[in-house]
A and B are shown apart, each in its own frame.
Chain A
Amino acid sequence: MSDTSGMTLAEKLWAQHVVRSVDGEPDLLYIDLHLVHEVTSPQAFDGLREKGRPVRRPDLTLATEDHNVPTTLGPVTDLTSRTQLEALKANCDEFGIVHHERGHRGQGIVHVIGPELGLTQPGMTIVCGDSHTSTHGAFGALAFGIGTSEVEHVLATQTLPLRPFRTMAITVEGTLPDGVGAKDIILAVINRIGTGGGQGYVLEYRGPAIEALSMEGRMTICNMSIEAGARAGMVAPDETTFAYLRGRPHAPTGADWDAAVDAWRQLRTDDDAVFDAEIVIDGEELSPYVTWGTNPAQSVQLGQSVPDPQTAGDDDAQDAARRALTYMGLEAGTPMREIGVDAVFLGSCTNGRIEDLRLAADILRGRTIAPGVRMLVVPGSHAVRQQAETEGLDQVFLDAGAEWRLAGCSMCLGMNPDQLSPEERCASTSNRNFEGRQGARGRTHLVSPAVAAATAVRGTLSSPVDLTPTDAPQGALV
């Protein structure tokens, strides 16, 4: 397609990356950046070895350790984790891929380091063997998760055969009330369209409430697009995007920067473009969202109560709701604010960036967390950790009684030792409240960083408005 009038942002990016298009076959799409981590890659590298194939573009491939790494100092004691980390290192050495291992200052969760290094840029196609690759769409990139066979395909060819996605506009109007953030927007969206509502679509988030968000906030939203079933989410690049990128290690410089920005400014949905679906959300109406069930669409506003399964729609949805309540150990009608937690997890590729840590630290400063509550603060990357330490945030967390950890996925998926015990209840800033996600039989409530911090202080699901002023710390009174 050479005529770009009447196209959505996603369609423009698609057209710019088509290597080959033939009727009846998927398009062959060029991939600008391929991020690799230890969990979904070993079998892909084995595949290459079996067939004697090289990596076509090691210079467009970056590997990091994140899912398995312990977030405490010391060696990796879990044997299988260590084997997997060693396999990644050996594979990267063999195939000539840059690899950020534990201790490297570019190490961290794959979706945190891409943007941080300036590798994630507008107009790119970005893939990774991880469903939350949708995060990178916050820059106006077409970014989506792939399986291990596709990882092998991209390593071998730097392309993927794909059918075009459909497009959905999600417009968030108005200004967000105080205490409401990006996480609440995306939980509201998923609540509205359901875990399958985005299937087959690229979601483009737009409207005044989205434009007003920082890059961190936009990443939080795009990150959870997959939780609505969409493989990708995007926000058109603007001055906020360019300001974030300028000066980052891999961002273009000099004349290249100008050429890049010129190209990036074209990356907007045309006024006369038509989306396949559209939904509108009134930002003014939002308040903090928390999940009560075992999928991310099972949420309510914090001021509400655990819903009655009988109100959950068809038989199937009612069954699912009942099963979720049993698993979560909750009764319909319980006010969400009365639900006590055992643990709070602040981190992950959804909410483990510096802005998330700052926000939580502002709430925790001068306060202590409730007795009996364990709070883990896990920066999304080594660089986030360093930045937080420079700003003294680590001390705020430690003084409040939280644990300050090294970078990694940690309790987001409980692959490393950071896990919930059976029936332990956790307020978590991560993205999935699936059964057992944070540890076998653990119970997860997805929340924003603000709600996580306030919940840590009060010991029950709370938002900052529930806290007394800083000069009367709560912790001791609970």
Chain B
Amino acid sequence: MEPFTTHTGIGVPMRRSNVDTDQIIPAHWLKRVSRTGFEEGLFSRWREDPGFVLNTEPYARGSVLVAGPDFGTGSSREHAVWALQQFGFRAVLSSKFADIFRGNSGKQGLLTAELDQGDIELIWKQLEAEPGTEVTVDLPARSVVCGDVTAGFRVDDYVAWRLENGLDDISLTLQHDEDIAGYEQQRPGWKPTVTAAVD
């Protein structure tokens, strides 16, 4: 995973609440078995509308998505995160993220920064007044700067530490193999196993 410390890029205002993962990437894009090529599927139904924000310059080159509340609700598809990243996004700002989406983002190095809704509104206004304004997201400082607006954001400290260091979760967990084996020793014997299936 590529480390994330600070990032500056064009902010994209998306004034919608409840943007679910079926909108971020519709189901038929999920049939791919690879981890690449999802940028085409990003918001693909909304992108059929030529006026949709990502179809217009300078937003088509945006890398910081400034979204409404309850972003990423619905399905657990990590493809939503891959699609955002492969399109060029490095961070999403919202006042509220769906849990699974936020978790998936943290694993992949897409920063989900939680701001107060009031600050989101200020950033939207700034971006709409001057399209193409860049947003700087500073992870160690937990701050966002966009034009005249400076705002703090929240992120899980452990996730932030992993992002800043580009650390892969599985390698970290495998260092605790002894703990896992110890736990397995004391699991009750009646817990089901799949291989004992009566087929």
| Contact pattern, B 12-33, Cβ under 8 Å of A = 1, otherwise 0 | 0001111010110011101111
Q: When the two chains form their complex, are residues A156 and B183 in contact, meaning their CB atoms are under 8 A apart?
A: no
How far, in Å, is A277 (CB) from chain B's closest CB? 15
Q: In the complex, what residue of chain B is closest to A145 when comparing beta carbons?
A: B76
Asked if A147 meets B100 with Cβ closer than 8 Å, knowing A152-B170, A434-B74, the reply is yes
Q: In the complex, what residue of chain B is closest to A91 when comparing beta carbons?
A: B33
- Say if the beta carbon of B34 comes within 8 Å of chain A: yes
Q: Which of the segments A249-257, A381-389, A465-473 contacts the partner chain?
A: A249-257
CB-contact partner of A250 in B20, B73, B180, B192, under 8 A: B192
Q: When the two chains form their complex, are residues B16 and A320 in contact, meaning their CB atoms are under 8 A apart?
A: yes
Q: When the two chains form their complex, are residues A46 and B35 in contact, meaning their CB atoms are under 8 A apart?
A: yes
Chain A residues whose C-beta falls within 8 Å of the C-beta of B108 in the assembled complex? 149
Q: When the two chains form their complex, are residues B73 and A229 in contact, meaning their CB atoms are under 8 A apart?
A: yes
Chain A residues whose C-beta falls within 8 Å of the C-beta of B27 in the assembled complex? 413-415, 437
Q: When the two chains form their complex, are residues B179 and A28 in contact, meaning their CB atoms are under 8 A apart?
A: yes
Interface of B is mostly: loop
Chain A residues whose C-beta falls within 8 Å of the C-beta of B190 in the assembled complex? 252, 256-257, 259-260
CB-contact partner of A43 in B28, B35, B199, under 8 A: B35
Q: When the two chains form their complex, are residues A20 and B176 in contact, meaning their CB atoms are under 8 A apart?
A: yes
Q: When the two chains form their complex, are residues A435 and B31 in contact, meaning their CB atoms are under 8 A apart?
A: no
Chain A residues whose C-beta falls within 8 Å of the C-beta of B182 in the assembled complex? 19
Q: When the two chains form their complex, are residues B176 and A19 in contact, meaning their CB atoms are under 8 A apart?
A: yes
- Say if the beta carbon of A445 comes within 8 Å of chain B: no
Q: List 28 A-B contacts (CB under 8 A).
A: A19-B179, A20-B176, A24-B158, A28-B173, A30-B184, A33-B192, A58-B195, A81-B31, A84-B32, A121-B192, A147-B104, A149-B78, A153-B173, A195-B18, A196-B18, A196-B73, A196-B96, A231-B99, A249-B198, A252-B190, A259-B190, A260-B188, A295-B73, A316-B69, A320-B18, A413-B27, A414-B28, A437-B22
List the 6 shortest-distance A-B pairs measured between CB atoms, nearest first. A147-B104, A149-B107, A147-B78, A80-B31, A256-B190, A42-B33
Residues of B with Cβ closer than 8 Å to A?
15-18, 20, 22-23, 26-28, 30-35, 45, 68-70, 73-79, 81, 96, 98-100, 103-104, 107-108, 156-158, 169-170, 172-174, 176, 179-180, 182-184, 187-199
